[in-house]
Amino acid sequence: NELDDEAQCQLRRIIRADGGSRAWINGRPVTSSQLAELASRLVEIHGQHEHQALMARHSQLALLDAYARNSAQREQVRQASQRWQALLDERDALSAQGDVSDRIGFLEHQLAELEREDLDPAAIAALDVNMT
């Protein structure tokens, strides 16, 4: 086999608009089945724009996780992150409830002060005019 002498192996395939295709291994024409058989034995197969995926953070993390073989730890971190986010959401909801109860308490205090003053409607109207 001529390919055994090569240090590198380059595969190329051109697909025409009509659906037909041509394939080469190290510049030599081959059938699609020969190309598929050899390609299935290769470790890396590169596409035209595949290098651009390396710039994406999720791709970098996926490659790092695959290399480290730490899928179990990755899943634990994912679950812990979800629990953390749920607790943050719960804290925010409780905080919002506290804000509402503080506001209710403030308004009840103001209402009690106004009731203690026992203002007549004319005095209230005068206050409205002064406030605007």
- Higher-confidence residue of 74 and 131: namely 74
pLDDT of residue 31: 92
Kindly report which listed range (2-16, 18-32, 81-95) carries the lowest average pLDDT score. 2-16
- Average pLDDT taken over every residue of the chain: 82
| pTM, two decimal places | 0.39
Nearest to residue 39, comparing CAs of 63, 3, 93? 3
**pLDDT exceeds cutoff 80 at 49:** no
Q: What is the pLDDT of residues 61-91, one digit of tens each?
A: 888 888 888 888 989 999 999 999 999 999 8
Q: Where are the alpha helices (DSSP H) in 1-132?
A: 32-39, 50-53, 57-68, 71-117, 121-131
Share of the chain above pLDDT 90, in %: 17
Kindly list the distances between the CA atom of residue 89 and the CA atoms of 40, 71, 93, in Å, as whole numbers in the listed order: 47, 27, 6
Mean pLDDT of 116-126: 81
**pLDDT range class, residue 3, cuts 50, 70, 90:** low
pLDDT of residue 84: 94
Residue 112 near residue 105, CB atoms below 8 Å: no
